[in-house]
Amino acid sequence: MKAEKTLRICEKGHKFYKSSDCQSCPTCDKEHKPNSGFLSKLSSPARNALLHDGIDTLQKLSTYTEKEILRIHGMGPKSIPNLKSSLEEEGLTFKEN
C-alpha cells in the first residue's frame, strides 16, 4: 500500500509533495548540489546523509567501512560504486572491516 503524498512548503516557500517523513525540499536540494567533487556524483538523499554526519571530504569518508556508510539513513548500495571510484582517484579506500 502506497503512502499518500502530502503538500509541504519549505522555509524558502517552495511547494512540493512527499510521501515519506523526509523534510528535504527538492528545489533547495538542486540549488545546493555541488558542481564538482565526490558529493556531486551522489543523489540528494545520499549527499544529505553524508553531510548530516559530517562526512564532507574523501579523507573523512576513508575513515569509515562500507558497512558503516550503508548504515547511515539515506545511503544505499547504489552509492557505493561512486564513492569507491572517488576514493580510488585520490589513492584512498574505505576503512577495512
> Looking at residues 48-64, what average pLDDT do you find?
95
User: Is 90 exceeded by the pLDDT of residue 65?
Assistant: yes
Higher pLDDT, 97 or 41: 41
User: Looking at residue 44, what is its pLDDT?
Assistant: 85
> What CA–CA distances, in Å, run from 24 to 39, 41, 46, 89?
16, 18, 12, 30
> Looking at residues 79-95, what average pLDDT do you find?
96
**CA distance linking residue 20 with residue 57, whole number of Å:** 28
For 34-97, give the CATH class. Answer: mainly alpha
- DSSP state for residue 93 in the 8-state scheme: -
User: Is 90 exceeded by the pLDDT of residue 97?
Assistant: no
- For the chain, the structural domain boundaries read 1-32, 34-97
Cell numbers standing for residue 49 = 546523509
This prediction has a pTM of 0.75
The three-state DSSP-derived secondary structure of 4-63 is: CCEEEECCCCCEEEECCCCCCCHHHHHHCCCCCCHHHHCCHHHHHHHHHCCCCCHHHHCC
Instruction: Give the model confidence (pLDDT) of 1-34 as tens digits.
Output: 677 999 999 999 999 998 887 778 889 888 888 8
Average pLDDT across the chain, whole number: 91
